[in-house]
């Protein structure tokens, strides 16, 4: 792939994606949006990729949303305009391979396009989460709507309505379930890679079917979700079981988080 704003590499069934605009605090411009359209097509179609890790270069920010200096392409006809998340977000591109998101520094506004659709989110102890839209007189809608499906509604509203006047700390993010681990900055990338490799070692058909069943259930009633889930087990389990030697499966290791 010819990428100008993102680094992409695959090793041991893990695709590592690194936002690489540190001088612009990894804000996304049109080039990055286009890069991610290519990346998700590649992740989806490459059967050697079982899991993806998303991280960001530089010290200051994971991502601060759209690049306000460069802007992004928008159709002049308001009814032809589309959400940039249609290209940035994995689930919007029907990528059912798990995404582990490793967040550090500032994670603001459009950064939630990735955080909201990650399967596992971890962060460093220097991370702050916030959404500045309303402080600039802009309606906060797309990012908090996705966020409200991950965390309690009141917490999503607080982030959206307080804008630049409050930042969510790593400890609070852990308390409300936005992240599942908080680590020292120098341990973040290694931990994300470790988690990804554990998942990547499992039968990919079982993993992808699990991700798809759970995410699609968010758009269904409980009865519809269970019926679809049953169909996925009937289709996916024979494939997943064929991908593994049950005798070689290690015994469970119980650990406390």
Query: Per-block average pLDDT, block size 10, for the chain (257 residues)?
Result: 95 98 96 96 97 98 92 81 86 96 97 97 98 95 94 97 97 98 98 98 95 93 88 79 68 55
Q: What is the pTM of this model?
A: 0.90
Instruction: Identify the pLDDT of residue 251.
Output: 59
The encoded tokens of residue 180 equal: 């599942």
Residue 52 C-alpha from the chain's centroid: 9
Q: Which fold does the domain 6-200 belong to in CATH?
A: 2-enoyl-CoA Hydratase; Chain A, domain 1 (3.90.226)
Calpha distance 126→179 (Å, rounded): 13
């Amino acid at each position: 792939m010819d990428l100008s704003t993102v680094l992409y590499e695959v090793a041991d069934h893990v695709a590592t994606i690194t936002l690489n605009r540190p001088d612009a605090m990894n804000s996304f411009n049109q080039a990055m949006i286009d890069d991610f359209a290519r990346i998700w097509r590649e992740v989806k179609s490459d059967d050697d990729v079982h899991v993806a890790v998303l991280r960001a270069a530089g010290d200051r920010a994971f991502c601060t949303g759209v690049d306000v200096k460069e802007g992004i392409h928008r159709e002049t006809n308001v009814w032809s305009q589309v959400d940039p998340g249609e290209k940035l977000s994995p689930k919007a591109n029907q990528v059912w391979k798990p995404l582990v998101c490793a967040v550090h520094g500032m994670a603001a506004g459009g950064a939630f396009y990735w955080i909201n659709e990650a399967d596992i989110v971890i962060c460093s102890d220097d991370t702050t989460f916030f959404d500045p839209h309303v402080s600039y007189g802009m309606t906060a809608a797309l990012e908090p709507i996705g966020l409200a499906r991950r965390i309690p509604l009141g917490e999503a509203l607080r982030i959206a309505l307080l804008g630049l006047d409050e930042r969510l700390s790593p400890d609070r993010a852990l308390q409300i379930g936005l992240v599942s681990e908080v680590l020292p900055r120098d341990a973040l990338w290694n931990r994300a890679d470790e988690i990804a490799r554990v998942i990547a070692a499992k039968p990919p058909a079982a993993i992808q079917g699990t991700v798809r069943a759970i995410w699609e259930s968010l758009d269904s009633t409980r009865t519809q979700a269970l019926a679809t889930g049953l169909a996925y087990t009937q289709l996916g389990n024979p494939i997943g079981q064929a991908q593994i030697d049950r005798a070689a499966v290690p015994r469970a290791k119980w650990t406390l988080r």
